[in-house]
Amino acid sequence: MTIPAHAFDAEAAAPSRTITALCLIALIAGFVAHVAVQIPNIVLEQAGAGGFAIGASTAAQAVGIVVSGPLAVYLLGRAGSAHVLMFGCCIASIGLSSLGASHDVLPITFWRLIFAVGVGLMVIVSQHVVTARAPSRRLGTVIAVYALCASLGAALAPGIISLLTPNFSLAYAIAVSSLMVAAISIGWAGLRTRVEPATSWAKVGGLFRSASPSFWAAAVYGLIENGLLALLTVYALRIGYSVAQASAVAMAGLLGVLLLQMPIGHISDRSNPRLVLLICALASIACLAVLVVARPPLPVMLGLAFVLGGLCDAFYTVGLADMSQRLPKSELAAANACFVLFCGMGEIAGPVVAGSGLDLLGPAGFATAFIAVLVLYLATQFKATRGSSGHPLRISGEAAS
């Protein structure tokens, strides 16, 4: 996807070629990550593995993303972003190739973990370069384009898998080949080989105090994306929709992710990102409240799923823009690693929250669980921002600079 030339400041921003290459890397990372989620789960199901084993194996991928955070900070303090990106691409290729040759729970789980560490490095470093080199007045829009590419990659995975089933070897070959394209894109991007400043744990603590609402937004994104949206089909089935209708609900959520990111990113460039996050949280609670009190007719359910899908990715896009605006560029490498780490922790917890809500209170409990998550997020947002700036929606002059 090519970014319009007017979206960048010629003086301060990265060349459009660099941003385009990084968006391509994001698309490929989203694609291969979902290939590594779906095909191994199908293989394990066909091999007769239990639900707990499949779930634990899937969670290993989120654990790998969490591990990649501190590893990225360490590597960026010793090598340039291009080198770390290439290293992550190589690790992901090894993990994905080994996944294609694995058929049992333990090796699949191990190689998922290794693969996820590599993909996590690709995401963290490419995201860091985007946030560090995009112009501040277009930051939300550029991040939205980057996130949109990752979402497009994720959307491609199930379509390609369904077309190639049961020939999973060919699907793996396409995914590994796409990582080779990512490696070529790293060279084409013309990234600097500058080593990032070393980051101490004390500095990470300071980063958390400065940008904690943004990090909590990343955790909320992980919870909703891997919990609410991932199990929305199950929820739809349990309230009486047919399989075809439930699939349509899931597709509506995906369309919301794809179509609403750019408008929301554009809005965040023209207003306070934390105000946008506040509105997104309240709108999400309103949508979920409808699911608690009623079984909506299919057209209403499709509309709610569409809005929830778009609002879900807003927590990532706008949260990342908010974090990038409030921190100096010298701290963005560690901050991006923390952002992805919180996102990974949310993805680990998301299925647990969704599944527990369904088991304990039925379909209404599914929505209620995520309302509780969003209310808790609003409470932490107000507490953190009041403690740092005196007003939950005010950007301090120091942070903004």
Instruction: Mark whether 168 and 264 lie in a shared domain.
Output: no
Instruction: Mark whether 239 and 339 lie in a shared domain.
Output: yes
Helix 105-133 crosses helix 332-389 at what angle (to 10 degrees)?
A: 70
**Mean per-residue pLDDT, 60-81:** 87
Domain boundary pick from 171, 197, 223: 197
Which structure tokens are listed for 86? 């290439």
pLDDT > 80? residue 109: yes
- How do residues 248-275 score in pLDDT, each as one tens digit? 888 898 899 889 989 999 999 888 898 9
The CATH code of the domain that includes 30 is 1.20.1250.20
Which range, 115-119, 145-149, 266-270, has the best average confidence (pLDDT)?
115-119
Instruction: Mark whether 220 and 187 lie in a shared domain.
Output: no
Instruction: Mark whether 23 and 64 lie in a shared domain.
Output: yes
Instruction: Mark whether 272 and 161 lie in a shared domain.
Output: no
Instruction: Mark whether 60 and 137 lie in a shared domain.
Output: yes
pLDDT > 50? residue 2: no
Comparing 78-92, 101-115, 229-243, 383-397, the range with the smallest average pLDDT is: 383-397
Q: Select from 154, 191, 159, 142 the least CA-distant residue to 27.
A: 154
Q: What is the DSSP letter of 228?
A: I
Assess if residue 112 is contained within a domain: yes
Assess if residue 366 is contained within a domain: yes
Assess if residue 394 is contained within a domain: no
- Number of domains, the chain: 2
CA–CA distance, 280 with 257 (Å, rounded to integer): 13
Give yes or no for a contact between 145 and 126, defined as CB atoms under 8 angstroms apart. Answer: no
pLDDT > 60? residue 6: no
Give yes or no for a contact between 316 and 218, defined as CB atoms under 8 angstroms apart. Answer: yes
pLDDT > 50? residue 399: no
Instruction: Mark whether 191 and 229 lie in a shared domain.
Output: no
Assess if residue 400 is contained within a domain: no
- pLDDT tier at 12, thresholds 50, 70, 90: very low
Please report the pLDDT score of residue 110 as a whole number: 95
Instruction: Mark whether 147 and 227 lie in a shared domain.
Output: no
CA–CA distance, 349 with 353 (Å, rounded to integer): 6
Instruction: Mark whether 84 and 229 lie in a shared domain.
Output: no
- Spell out where 236-347 has E strands: none
Instruction: Mark whether 222 and 181 lie in a shared domain.
Output: no
CA–CA distance, 382 with 390 (Å, rounded to integer): 10
Give yes or no for a contact between 152 and 30, defined as CB atoms under 8 angstroms apart. Answer: yes
Please report the pLDDT score of residue 13 as a whole number: 42
Assess if residue 214 is contained within a domain: yes
Please report the pLDDT score of residue 31 as a whole number: 95
Q: Select from 150, 145, 132, 148 the least CA-distant residue to 65.
A: 150
How big is the chain by its Cα radius of gyration, in Å? 20
- pLDDT tier at 206, thresholds 50, 70, 90: low
Domain boundary pick from 170, 197, 224: 197
Give yes or no for a contact between 249 and 233, defined as CB atoms under 8 angstroms apart. Answer: yes
Instruction: Mark whether 271 and 324 lie in a shared domain.
Output: yes
Domain that residue 297 falls in: 205-388
Q: Select from 361, 338, 9 the least CA-distant residue to 206.
A: 338
- How do residues 190-204 score in pLDDT, each as one tens digit? 776 555 655 555 565
Assess if residue 399 is contained within a domain: no
- Single-letter amino acid, residue 318: V
Please report the pLDDT score of residue 264 as a whole number: 92
pTM of the model: 0.81
Residues 6+ apart with CB under 8 A from 156: 31
Assess if residue 393 is contained within a domain: no
- pLDDT tier at 124, thresholds 50, 70, 90: very high
Instruction: Mark whether 186 and 210 lie in a shared domain.
Output: no
Domain boundary pick from 197, 226, 242: 197
Q: Select from 5, 269, 229, 274 the least CA-distant residue to 143.
A: 269
Assess if residue 108 is contained within a domain: yes
